[in-house]
Structure 1
Amino acid sequence: MTELYGETVFGADHDLEAMRLDALSRMFDPATRARLVQIARPGMRCLDVGAGLGRISGWLAEVCAQVIAVDRDTRLLADLHKVFPTVQVVEADITEDLALGTFDIVHSRLVLMHLRDRVDVFHRLADLVSPGGWLVLGEAVEAPALISPPQSPFRQLMEKHWRSLETAIGTDGQWGYRYPDLLREAGFVDIGVEMYQPPITPSSAAGQFFQLGFHHLRDRILADGLVDEATFDEAVKAMREPGFSDLGMGLLTAWARKPT
């Protein structure tokens, strides 16, 4: 059976999924907003794909004229309109055609890396950008650098959990590195790319995100035999110890403009 992100893995109905996405937002939203603020302008029409809790959609709504927040499961977006009335929430699958017109900004973060047909979806998103508009794509990439020694339980778990996601749903922790070439091949110009790698500490957003994620994936990782139970527990315990500090996955963001 083919598994999908948001169903058997990180489903919206999981007790801790809203908390995990909240930690993810606090971890990566500052970097995403810092990029979008460079291009978002009043009057723009924006599409936020894989909107999650809707934090970026809401921020865009404070700047732009129209924002459509798309997700395959919109249960966690149910109250977004109460805070941001101008945001339109659409439940849709980006792997299928979206009859939504074109946009001045199309943004997606941590979506395509989890899709097996990610190249096709990239071209779908590119087609949704209006001439002169911007495509902004962010993906998590396997930690470009780690401080812990290779034999440490934390490092073993951090590296091996990617393999578990790859096996289960096809996650590609290297996918984001392809964006500059794909954007160039698709005819985009003014291409840029940047990396943001936040610290993991017991109280940081990144630390909370990984503690919740590892809790969710525990049975799967142990069943896959990637790390043993003692190593798993030692890694999680180390993350909670005062003074622990390391680096987690990076957020690679690529952006480009479609010629007029």
Structure 2
Amino acid sequence: MTEIAELYGDALFAHDHDLEAVRLDAMSRMHDPATQARLSAITRPGMRCLDVGAGLGRVSGWLADQVAPGEVTALDKDVRLLNALPDVFPTVQVVAADISDNSLDLGSFDLIHARMVLMHLRNRREVFARLASWLKPGGWLVLADAIQSTMVSPPENAFRRLMELHWATLERSIGTDRTWALNYPDLLRGAGFKDVGVELYHPPVSPDSAAGRFWALNFGHLRERILADGLVDEDLFEQAVGVMNEPDFTELGMGLVTAWGRKP
């Protein structure tokens, strides 16, 4: 197998891209309801929390309110979109670091959350073990990643075809694993976690939804990569993007699998 050299954020989804903050905003609005519902069942005042791959800091800021006077560490490899966060949430500490770095040690936490992070990493299992090791006894690990929609649409559906090619391009370009999240329950149980749970959140894609906005931006960002892979021509690409703007369009784009467990 050819070694994949490019990492998430090197070129694809880099934070200095003109529309990356807009794309992350759409992703936050798409997924935050499910994330907040799950974390609200776990959080309590005084917790020390780690938010991995904090992005715009929406989850980090929300956690700061939930666990006050506790502390939140917002970790990202690129923190240019996070630098103002402590001005609004003084109990948030922003840390610029790569979670894949074996030498990284941030101490111990009562709650660690990572969303849409591990599926893009090569050393996913090592990072999982690292996060588990940073938890205090009784602490919670909450991990969420996307999976391809399990709903099968007719093959002539241009949106569904483009969605499949989008995943293939991410796999080839940066090594994304669209099925990785399905491993979480077994990984958590295998690591000795208790009270393990898992759920699937599947927001619809429509012209006026956050998911619709996210996918329009995602496809736009990946357009040249997808076309260069040669699995789709420009006509099909434009047809798929165009149908997303039709008033009655609705589809399922991707599901968010969230799994959690408590360290004994």
TM bucket by the smaller chain? over 0.9
Q: 184, 189, 213: which one pairs with 1:184?
A: 189
Shift of 1:98: 2.5
1:193 maps to 2:206:
no
Distance (Å, rounded) in 1 between the aligned partners of 2:121 and 2:219: 20
Distance (Å, rounded) in 2 between the aligned partners of 1:249 and 1:116: 21
Gaps of 5+ in 1: none
Distance (Å, rounded) in 2 between the aligned partners of 1:101 and 1:226: 46
Q: 142, 165, 175: which one pairs with 1:160?
A: 165
1:219 maps to 2:224:
yes
Q: 27, 30, 40: which one pairs with 1:27?
A: 30
Q: 7, 14, 17: which one pairs with 2:10?
A: 7
Q: 23, 39, 52: which one pairs with 1:49?
A: 52
Shift of 1:140: 0.6
Deviations 1:45-97 (A, max 9, x none): 00000001000000000021000000000011111112111100000010113
**Secondary structure at the residue paired with 1:157?**
helix
1:119 maps to 2:122:
no
Deviations 1:155-193 (A, max 9, x none): 100111100000000000000000011111111111000
| More displaced stretch, 76-85 vs 164-173 | 76-85
| More displaced stretch, 148-157 vs 250-259 | 148-157
**Secondary structure at the residue paired with 2:81?**
helix
Shift of 1:203: 1.1
Quote the residue 1:137 is aligned against.
Answer: 143
Distance (Å, rounded) in 1 between the aligned partners of 2:235 and 2:154: 18
Gaps of 5+ in 2: none
The AA in structure 1 aligned to 2:164 is E
Distance (Å, rounded) in 2 between the aligned partners of 1:185 and 1:177: 14
Distance (Å, rounded) in 2 between the aligned partners of 1:128 and 1:180: 19
Deviations 1:170-224 (A, max 9, x none): 0000000000111111111110000000000011000000000000000000000
The AA in structure 2 aligned to 1:33 is Q
Distance (Å, rounded) in 2 between the aligned partners of 1:145 and 1:57: 32
Q: List structure 1 runs of 4+ shifted beyond 3 angstroms.
A: none
Distance (Å, rounded) in 1 between the aligned partners of 2:71 and 2:190: 29
Distance (Å, rounded) in 1 between the aligned partners of 2:138 and 2:262: 6
Q: CA RMSD in A?
A: 0.9
**Secondary structure at the residue paired with 1:94?**
coil
**Secondary structure at the residue paired with 1:75?**
coil
Quote the residue 1:240 is aligned against.
Answer: 245
Distance (Å, rounded) in 1 between the aligned partners of 2:123 and 2:183: 14
**When the two structures are superposed, what TM-score results if normalisation uses the length of structure 2?**
0.96
Quote the residue 2:97 is aligned against.
Answer: 92
Quote the residue 2:115 is aligned against.
Answer: 109
The AA in structure 2 aligned to 1:53 is L
Distance (Å, rounded) in 1 between the aligned partners of 2:257 and 2:151: 13
**Secondary structure at the residue paired with 1:61?**
helix
**When the two structures are superposed, what TM-score results if normalisation uses the length of structure 1?**
0.97
Quote the residue 1:37 is aligned against.
Answer: 40
| More displaced stretch, 77-86 vs 242-251 | 77-86
Distance (Å, rounded) in 1 between the aligned partners of 2:175 and 2:81: 24
